[in-house]
Amino acid sequence: MEVFNTPNKVIITCNRRLSPYLEQEVKDLGFQIVRSFNTGVEIKASINECIRLNLNLRVASQVLYEIKAFRAKDPAELYQHLLATPWEEILPFDGYFSVTSNVHNETITTPLFANVKVKDAIVDRIKDKKGVRPNSGPELNKAVVHLHWMEERAEIFLDTSGETLAKHGYRKHPGKAPMLEALATSTILATGWDGKSPFVNPMCGSGTLAIEAALIAQKRMPGLQRMNYSFMHFIGYQEDVFFAERKRLKEVTEKTNLPKIIASDIADEAIEIAKLNARTAGVEHLIEFEVCDFAETTVPEDHGVIMFNPEYGERLGTHSKLEVTYKRMGDFLKQNCKGYRGYIFTGNPDLAKKIGLRASRRFEFFNGKLDCRLLQYELYDGTKEK
């Protein structure tokens, strides 16, 4: 089964509410969208094209290449269909693989049981053909097979990503309540920031927003941070395809005429963590870090984007300290950021009311399971108050 050069159904997944930003990324790479849904998009591509997708996407979670779709009422039918699949042509007999799944079938009480049936079918098939049993386990650092089984419809995919693409590989020091990298990128894309004007991030925490802004401005893809993907562990992988794409991405990275990016936090420790993360991402030199109260953050005399990701507090009932903070954020935006577009990302609508400004737009996101909003404020031109 030659999968590296054979176009087939590919599902690219993402976290909920990120699919509009993922769809645009995929289109920008020249792919035609077959279908969009709440947690991803469908296209047609080969695994060699999936290599390009893995290296270029900022918002995605997994890139899944379908190898078979069939009907299965129960685990026994699932096993028989998978036993008839030529796994010996896909997975090295002396290799390692893992199985993930998304299962809703009345005969299955736990997805782990479905995973075991998939694993058993693969191992039994390869042992029958090669006389050797490949190793398997929970780690996602080698070949990964994914089962999607809804009612009686089953699909089996090669997960070409392995570890999620939503984490961009630079955050070795997460800090306090960090924002997922794919979510941070999506909020920046939602602002329509041009990547050339200033980007200001008070209350930067571990620096994720500022780092993602720097990566976007530099046209530097997060895939350059990784040297291990699941596609490397399938039969037929040609490393020259991977290294050619890495070389191309390095060549298109912008090194001059980059915007001013400012990140501030009142905590020395937060700024140190942010600097370490920025250094790992290769963008520390592009960000001006400041230790100060957010109201003292430098705002360049220019038009740009200023974005806050403050604490949310409790969903029900607010804390008086945070109420004061949210009001001060509103005052700072109104008085110090004229000519900018201001953004506040929050999961607490009661605290949002304390900002004291009328939002011109509201973008819906989830941060984990928390329903959140990115609030946009038009801060009209005028003489900035110092």
Read off the pLDDT of residues 247-275 as tens digits, 9 standing for 90 and up.
999 999 999 999 999 999 999 999 999 99
Tell me if residue 220 falls in helix, strand or coil: coil
Residues 32, 121 within the same domain: yes
Give the CATH number for residue 371: 3.40.50.150
Closest by Cα among 32, 101, 97 to 62? 101
Q: Among residues 125, 159, 193, which one ends one of the domains?
A: 159
| Alpha-carbon distances of 227 from 51, 141, 165, 168, 235, rounded to whole Å | 12, 11, 12, 12, 18
In a domain, 238, yes or no: no
Residues 64, 121 within the same domain: yes
Residues 285, 147 within the same domain: no
In a domain, 164, yes or no: no
The answer to whether residue 377 scores a pLDDT higher than 50 is yes
In the chain, the number of structural domains is 2
Contact in structure between 181 and 151 (CB atoms under 8 Å): no
Q: What range defines the domain where residue 326 resides? A: 181-219+254-378
What percent of the chain is modeled with pLDDT above 70?
97
The predicted pLDDT at position 173 comes to 79
117 vs 321, residue with greater confidence:
117
Q: What is the mean pLDDT of residues 298-313?
A: 93
The predicted pLDDT at position 314 comes to 57
Please write the tens of the pLDDT for every residue from 15-30.
999 999 999 999 999 9
Least-confidence region, from 167-181, 208-222, 312-326: 312-326
Residues 130, 190 within the same domain: no
The predicted pLDDT at position 33 comes to 98
Give the CATH number for residue 84: 3.30.2130.30
Residues 192, 336 within the same domain: yes
Give me the sign of the Cα torsion angle 254, 190, 194, 346: negative
Please write the tens of the pLDDT for every residue from 208-224.
999 999 999 999 999 99
Residues 203, 331 within the same domain: yes
The predicted pLDDT at position 174 comes to 75
Residues 22, 67 within the same domain: yes
Q: How confident is the model at residue 320 (pLDDT cuts 50, 70, 90)?
A: confident
Residues 212, 102 within the same domain: no
How many CB atoms are closer than 10 A to CB 297?
A: 21
The predicted pLDDT at position 302 comes to 85
